[in-house]
């Protein structure tokens, strides 16, 4: 069996969207856990969102002339984010995933990127073993959470503008350990719900909605106020967020305020130091 890796093109997108749905939904349905990609439409939103951005690179796996999987690497900022990686379910454990992962590692090395991060489904023991064998190391567990929506308008929270990006740079560096400004710029331009919180005429927190978004804030209260505002302003799937469990105070506060835990993920990284324990929410990639 010879697997060929080629750059992702627009012509691949319908097939890759269908594979994305089948790969994630099959695993999550089998384990009766939260379903991230319940149909091909959601798969197409995910694949289109990464395949059409200029700061992603993607590879499609081809076997006997048929596209059977893909992987993507976010290279917007200093730390690269890996995924989504998806493989046709009937071909899993046949070397396709390993080839796609090695492509991403090689691509990061070629670009001089010293740290790559990803999130791994905690229920998937096979991918945990694969990623570890390729040099990724477990860093922390994280809870996918559905927040309770704010019941009243918060005058301290407003839509993000491009003028707020230097504050995104500052907050993401201080609380997440590296800048997410370039990624936030692209997500804002794509029209995702993005908000900032102000205090004393200063931006003290930001959040970009969806699993591909992220957040950082000076206090837990600032962060959770943004989370609840997003939940009131965006559909439930876009309001779900990833809470690092190594910040146990943040997780406990989110639960007290009505947040529900949907499932658990593992954060893994190749290169770099241990993540900071600041007031931040990672994206599904890093």
Strand ranges, E, within 78-200: 80-82, 86-87, 116-121, 137-146, 157-159, 194-199
For the chain, percent of residues with pLDDT exceeding 90: 86
Pick the CATH number of 145-272 from 2.10.109.10, 3.10.620.30, 1.10.260.40, 3.40.630.30: 3.40.630.30
Judge whether residue 221 has pLDDT over 90.
yes
pLDDT digits (tens, 9 = 90+) for 113-154: 999 999 999 999 999 999 999 999 999 999 999 999 999 999
Judge whether residue 3 has pLDDT over 80.
yes
Give residue limits of the domains in the chain. Answer: 4-114, 145-272
- Strands of the sheet containing 280-281, edge to edge, are 157-159, 194-199, 202-208, 215-217, 280-281
Task: Give pLDDT, residue 153.
Answer: 93
pLDDT digits (tens, 9 = 90+) for 14-62: 999 999 999 888 778 877 888 888 889 989 999 999 999 999 999 999 9
Pick the CATH number of 4-114 from 3.40.630.30, 3.30.420.40, 3.30.1510.10, 3.30.70.1560: 3.40.630.30
Q: Report the C-alpha gap between 177 and 169 in whole angstroms.
A: 10
Neighbours of 126 (CB within 10 A): 11
Regarding beta strands 86-87 and 137-146, do their DSSP bridges make them parallel or antiparallel, or are they unpaired? Answer: unpaired
pLDDT digits (tens, 9 = 90+) for 82-98: 999 999 998 887 899 99
Single pTM value for the model: 0.94
- What's the whole-number average pLDDT of the chain? 94
């Amino acid at each position: 069996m010879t697997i060929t890796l080629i750059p992702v093109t627009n012509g691949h997108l319908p097939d890759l969207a269908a594979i994305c749905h089948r790969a994630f939904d099959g695993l999550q349905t089998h384990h009766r856990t939260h379903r991230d990609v319940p149909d091909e439409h959601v798969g197409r939103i995910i694949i289109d969102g990464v395949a059409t951005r200029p700061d992603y690179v993607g590879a499609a796996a081809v076997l006997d002339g048929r596209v059977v999987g893909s992987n993507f690497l976010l290279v917007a900022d200093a730390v690269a984010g890996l995924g989504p990686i998806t493989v046709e379910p009937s071909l899993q454990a046949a070397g396709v995933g390993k080839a796609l992962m090695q492509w991403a590692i090689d691509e990061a090395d070629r670009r001089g990127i010293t740290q790559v991060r990803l999130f791994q489904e905690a229920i998937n023991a096979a991918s945990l073993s694969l990623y570890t064998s390729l040099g990724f190391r477990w860093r922390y567990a994280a809870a996918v959470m559905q927040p309770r929506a704010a019941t009243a308008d918060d005058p301290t929270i407003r839509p993000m503008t491009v003028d707020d990006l230097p504050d995104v740079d500052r907050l993401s560096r201080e609380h997440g350990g590296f800048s997410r400004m370039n990624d936030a710029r692209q997500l804002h331009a794509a029209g995702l719900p993005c908000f900032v919180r102000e205090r004393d005429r200063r931006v003290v927190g930001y959040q970009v909605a969806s699993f591909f978004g992220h957040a950082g804030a000076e206090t837990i209260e600032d962060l959770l106020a943004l989370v609840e505002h997003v939940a009131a302003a965006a559909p439930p799937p876009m309001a779900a967020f990833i809470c690092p469990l190594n910040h146990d105070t943040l997780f406990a506060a989110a639960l007290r305020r009505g947040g529900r835990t949907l499932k658990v993920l593992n954060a893994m990284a190749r290169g770099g130091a241990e993540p900071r324990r600041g007031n931040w929410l990672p994206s599904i990639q890093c």
